[in-house]
Structure 1
Amino acid sequence: MPAKQSKSQKVALVTGAARGIGLATARLFIEEGWLVAALDRDADALQKAAADLGQAASAFVCDVSDPGAVDRTVADVLSRFGRIDALVNNAGVADFGPIEQTDFARWRRVMETNLDGVFLMSQAVTPALKDTKGALVNIASISGLRASTLRVAYGTSKAAVIQLTKQQAAELGEYGIRANCVCPGPVRTKLAMAVHTQDIIDAYHDAIPLNRYGTEREIAEVIVFLCSEKASYVTGQVIASDGGFESTGVGLPALRK
């Protein structure tokens, strides 16, 4: 049974919370004294994650690309907690392939979660964020800041999320709502390590000034900071948490010490 909520206790709604960056973010919010509404469309993985997070988290199964499901779930979250102080739009899908092999159905599968889902969740939660003068944090990607092969749908969706964030900051600031965007670079997730060959790992290390992948926890630290009062005058910003990857372009391993 979820822990009893104090009237002043803040509530974060995190999408894509069953694994990876979303789960790490939910865990850090709880460490900081927040309650968490953890959303994901993978019911089994979500229940397992919620059990790991403990009483401060409540699980809500939701496909963020479904407008009806989003509205029902946000209503359920408000019924459970009575407030929402931060929305972290983390849910996303990664589908990489050549432009010529990306048919419209494949394009839409990426857009409906990565872009439509951010729009739908933000719109549904905005009235609650007005009440709390809360924060929006959208998770884009380094692929939204710089182009690379095989990412025509994914990279475009994340670039659109960056622009959506700026639109939200411009329009919602008068209500005290802050909107910011985090763009993770290469992150050492279980999935990435399962599919990245040693050649890929070496190439990333050569291109990243910090010479390593990031961790899920490091991305979560940036997200939770942006939702906190410590970032009370920060809005409309796009922060690449990427070890310097976006700033350097092509790595030159022969010039490294």
Structure 2
Amino acid sequence: MTHKNTHRFHGKVAIIMGAANGIGEATAKRLADEGASVMLTDLSEDGLKKLASSLPSDRTATRTADISKKDQVNAVIDETVNRFGRIDILISNAGVSKIGTLEETDVDDWKTICATNVDGSIFAAKAALPHLKKSRGNIVFTASISGTAGDRNTFFYDVSKGAVVQMTRALAVELGQYGIRVNAIGPAVTRTGMTEELLNNKDYVSRLIAAIPLGRYGETEDMAAAMLFLASEDAGFISGHVLMVDGGLSAWNGQPAFPK
């Protein structure tokens, strides 16, 4: 996928949580390419170093952090302001999953998934809020098609992403008075490190592609493009919206074609 460098984000400061690979990495590259200063955070120090080496050094900072830990999230926010002086955009993208039904998993699995997928976004939004008020900035979460309709075998992940969907709406209502917009993207299956094993399953991929009207699964560049749209002034009157980036999958009701 190609894109035109528009410098939509010249002078803006963005935090990307979960930046070392996948959707976060693609989003960070696009933001930097379009003029933003970026704070990159992730559990993977090596991944952050590799990504940062490809971006403008004067507009890039990194900090290793576990976003399920409130003190580490607070430190990311503080370091961003110390380095760049402001925060305009918060991208909360870090996420984890586990295959399994309710019967097959236990409460510890839920605690782990919820801590990253839900708690981390709450910690980040709360810590960044004073700075977003000053800049009249915006937040973009990574939700999921799985937060709007159920899957088989990913019970806890679906529940956590449903929470992110509702977090998006509730915060949009709560923070609109400060000029802060809150949105999310809703990816379907996207090729990332987390889905590598899944997408090596030829039978699964065949069934997946057959269900998607556009006939392919998502790429990280698809998700980054949607992220940047929501974070930009092009979406200046959009808030509380979950933008489905799923090739039309969520438009299908699941019924097979009627026989002719």
The two structures have a TM-score, normalised by structure 1, of 0.92
Q: Secondary structure at the match of 1:52?
A: coil
Q: Note the alpha carbon deviations across 1:99-158, whole angstroms, 9 max, x for none.
A: 112111111000000000010000000111001000100101111111011111100000
**Which residue of 1 is the match for residue 107 of structure 2?**
104
1:70 and 1:124 in contact (8 A); partners too: yes
Cα distance in structure 1, aligned partners of 2:202 and 2:138: 39
Which residue, 176, 197, 215 being the options, matches 1:194?
197
Aligned AA (1:234): I
**Which residue of 1 is the match for residue 159 of structure 2?**
156
**Which residue of 1 is the match for residue 124 of structure 2?**
121
Query: Mean Cα displacement is larger for which, 88-97 or 11-20?
Result: 88-97
What is the deviation of 1:249? 3.5
**Which residue of 2 is the match for residue 5 of structure 1?**
none
How high is the sequence identity, in percent, across the aligned residues?
38
**Which residue of 1 is the match for residue 209 of structure 2?**
205
Query: Mean Cα displacement is larger for which, 195-204 or 85-94?
Result: 195-204
2:17 and 2:92 in contact (8 A); partners too: yes
1:28 aligns with 2:30: yes
**Which residue of 1 is the match for residue 79 of structure 2?**
76
RMSD: 1.5
Q: How does 1:1-257 map to 2 (within 5 A)?
A: 9-55=11-57, 56-196=59-199, 197-250=201-254, 252=256
Cα distance in structure 1, aligned partners of 2:208 and 2:60: 35
Cα distance in structure 2, aligned partners of 1:33 and 1:15: 18
Query: Mean Cα displacement is larger for which, 159-168 or 69-78?
Result: 69-78
1:207 and 1:249 in contact (8 A); partners too: no
Work out the number of aligned pairs and report it. 248
Q: Secondary structure at the match of 1:93?
A: coil
The two structures have a TM-score, normalised by structure 2, of 0.91
What is the deviation of 1:201? 0.6
In structure 2, stretches of 5+ residues that fail to align are: 1-9
Aligned AA (1:69): Q
Moved over 2 A (4+): 188-196, 249-255
